[in-house]
Structure 1
């Protein structure tokens, strides 16, 4: 295997401070921002949809179980296409999968309010399932594009910048959803705004976005060479390499990423989907304050994620610690830090609003370190197959995202009982602790031997055909594009 921790730069860095890779990172950052805003819209929107309003908008008499079913329905669809999306993105690139993902999400958001009025919660669940299916294409594709566009020495910083958009989207949605719901535009405007933003992003991505530097018409030759020589990917990464499933599924480092992803999803989505309800029923905060206070922990996560990424990159690039040590340290901060904070929260006396918000802010804020922990480990192990691995771990992890709100419905019998919520927090603590322990024991930051797997038989046959008919195919070499 290739030791990525001692790998030297083999192509000169472009003199320009900002290049096409930075513009791509910005657009991908906006993708995670907008996509997460659409996911979170229901967390606050459902509170408004089930509360009386002064403007005559429909109010739905949904039980707690029905509400949790609506909240979890996104993930029923989300898990379906993760692995196929990762495979397709790995073979052909992620540009058009990302376009489909965001475009469909935008359209579904625009029709959701009408669907709710016409078909009640079943229609809303249907919309959220379709939205989940479409967004299931996004992260595997995104991970593959990052693996092709981002050099190793910039991966912690740019990777965190891109994925931290999820927290900014959460912050924006939690802040604006409550305000929009309480305004004369009512709760439907929450979904209309989110849908419009998705469609705007889709138009921008169609014009500028590309799966890899080789297929971009906007990038300079110098920057393209720099990226391709320093990203750890190869020509086999798009449309040529057979997926080494046996090697992946028998790799302990891969399993450590998978378990860390599952622990992260259960803990994070328990808080994300249920925090507005916890604020309302336990801390007695109204809908407008709900959005503001619920957003505060994600502001902390957003800000701290940049500090963690800068610090991680500083430590590794200055050779103070090895890359694998950095991954372990920051993943531990992301998992065990929140576990300790949640233990404190679970024993907090009811009604102590200020201290509860402080602990929740610490809990979610420390979780921002996972962007330079397991989240980038797929690319460390195999830039060429990062999208496939991300599809697999994100798909399995999504099962635990489904379990998050459903476990609350099963455990919490009295929504105003701090004792019932304590049980929910204990479950998250256990998953955070155990999954990170496995990650610490078995993770690696070295590029694996199977990253440069042999081409599939179909590709080998095509190459033989090219050798016999060079004039027919010479213009397509290196320019495969999905």
Structure 2
């Protein structure tokens, strides 16, 4: 069967359905689109806030590392050197990498709701212990960051599993990007808030207490309101449920389906996706962990100004995520470009754009603060293109196994997130030296260039044959691939899914 959304374009779509698709599918079903605010939108809001809260847990140490190593009234400080700080900043990813694949499998086996909610609550509890760990030494902070990374490693596989069940193909760009933009808004919010907290009587420990308290509150709300799939949601209408289930491409029996690891690892499209993910991870986390230090040591900004200006790039990225996602949906849903082309186009904006900005940033000095901050803001802000690129490509390739696939790519990309701060620590023997920072920015730009080139060459956005059981794979993969483009066909042309 081929599902077409009922609307003004449906007659046009029926005219251009290829004959071989009609013969193979045998039946074309017109489904009614669920209008207005639905349960899927409430689930999206929950996940958006959840992404914000979980990024509080990730980013708090990047913001706090500056006042933790400077003498300030009312808060303890520690004499940690550059190498020790680099180990603290990278240790999160040691645990993060380990839990990725198990998280995807656990979400598939037990449901993403319980895994994500529990992990966020545990991460919140760990946040409360950071000030005590710091008093015990930098080694204790590393241990706590490893544990935080372990629980945080569940976030993306679980969210991807939920997206595959909840987000219709026609809304994939906007809802998915909107949800994941919570990461950027969360980063911006925690950074801008941190400056006021650091100068208050709470000091830097207050940042960890805030992160922990909000995490526990959100986990309780999520357990109460979230659902693993439309079929188990409360207050969902039959129309909305049918609309979602018809256009997700996710099989309701997928929890019992074995993950086709061999087929996945033989897929060129998977390696294109992996390259895109790794490039983003290196660049994003290099800037996330090092930007406050760069602004303090090179641009000579005080703690409060540093915190506010460090938040601007992530605020820009969050806003741009909400701009590029509807543009992507319009371009594909109206047939201007294929979904594969859209993924490659926006991923190129999201990685080659920052590459250009970082090259320019390498030549900035302390006397050019305004230009440096502008380039940093653009470098991170244009990363928003990746939200309509590699980030949702897992669901394009395999709605049934998007969670486990995200676990694999996010785990491997997490290795680059470990290496990046260590490489920066090895290069920056003098944190005040702009020439050393130039090398850091150039290396990051080169990685963006190579990784996105691989994504452009090998990337695809069609459902792969291994998404379904072997006996049905060819038929259903063809059906889903037609659905991917049939809903974006203009009346005068039929676009294929080649770049």
The 1:309/1:280 distance shift into structure 2, 3 A limit, reads same
Structure 1 position 52, deviation (Å): 1.2
Q: Secondary structure at the match of 2:34?
A: coil
Contact 1:91–1:241 (CA under 8 A) maintained in structure 2: no
Instruction: Please give the residue correspondences for 1:116-265 in structure 2 after superposition, counting only pairs within 5 Å.
Output: 116-117=134-135, 119-237=136-254, 239-265=255-281
Structure 1 position 99, deviation (Å): 1.1
Structure 1 position 188, deviation (Å): 0.7
Contact 1:3–1:446 (CA under 8 A) maintained in structure 2: no
The 1:134/1:429 distance shift into structure 2, 3 A limit, reads same
Structure 1 position 212, deviation (Å): 1.0
Contact 2:51–2:182 (CA under 8 A) maintained in structure 1: yes
Aligned residues, how many? 450
Structure 1 position 198, deviation (Å): 0.4
**Unpaired stretches in structure 2, ≥5 consecutive residues:** 5-12, 18-27, 472-499
For 1:62, the equivalent position in structure 2 comes to 80
Distance in 2, matches of 1:165 and 1:122, equals 31
Structure 1 position 115, deviation (Å): 2.3
Q: Secondary structure at the match of 1:80?
A: helix
Q: Secondary structure at the match of 1:14?
A: coil
Instruction: Please give the residue correspondences for 1:422-441 in structure 2 after superposition, counting only pairs within 5 Å.
Output: 422-441=438-457
Q: For each residue in 1:269-312, what CA deviation from the matched residue of structure 2 results, as whole angstroms up to 9, or x when unmatched?
A: 11010000000000000100000111111111111111110111
Q: For each residue in 1:136-194, what CA deviation from the matched residue of structure 2 results, as whole angstroms up to 9, or x when unmatched?
A: 11110110100000000000000000000000010001101121011111111000000
Distance in 1, matches of 2:128 and 2:346, equals 39
- The answer to whether the aligner puts 1:73 opposite 2:88 as a matched pair is no
Distance in 2, matches of 1:194 and 1:454, equals 46
For 2:389, the equivalent position in structure 1 comes to 373
**Unpaired stretches in structure 1, ≥5 consecutive residues:** 456-482
Q: Please identify, of 381-390 and 106-115, the stretch whose mean Cα deviation from structure 2 is larger.
A: 106-115
- The answer to whether the aligner puts 1:11 opposite 2:31 as a matched pair is yes
Q: Secondary structure at the match of 2:98?
A: coil
Distance in 1, matches of 2:189 and 2:72, equals 22
Contact 2:300–2:366 (CA under 8 A) maintained in structure 1: no
Structure 1 position 71, deviation (Å): 0.8
Distance in 2, matches of 1:178 and 1:329, equals 37
For 1:363, the equivalent position in structure 2 comes to 379
Distance in 2, matches of 1:12 and 1:449, equals 28
Distance in 1, matches of 2:106 and 2:63, equals 34
The 1:91/1:3 distance shift into structure 2, 3 A limit, reads farther
Contact 2:3–2:30 (CA under 8 A) maintained in structure 1: no
Contact 1:72–1:401 (CA under 8 A) maintained in structure 2: yes
Q: Secondary structure at the match of 1:436?
A: helix
- The answer to whether the aligner puts 1:51 opposite 2:67 as a matched pair is no
Distance in 2, matches of 1:349 and 1:203, equals 47
TM superposition score normalised by structure 2: 0.88
TM superposition score normalised by structure 1: 0.91
Distance in 2, matches of 1:184 and 1:372, equals 42
Distance in 2, matches of 1:91 and 1:315, equals 36
For 1:292, the equivalent position in structure 2 comes to 308
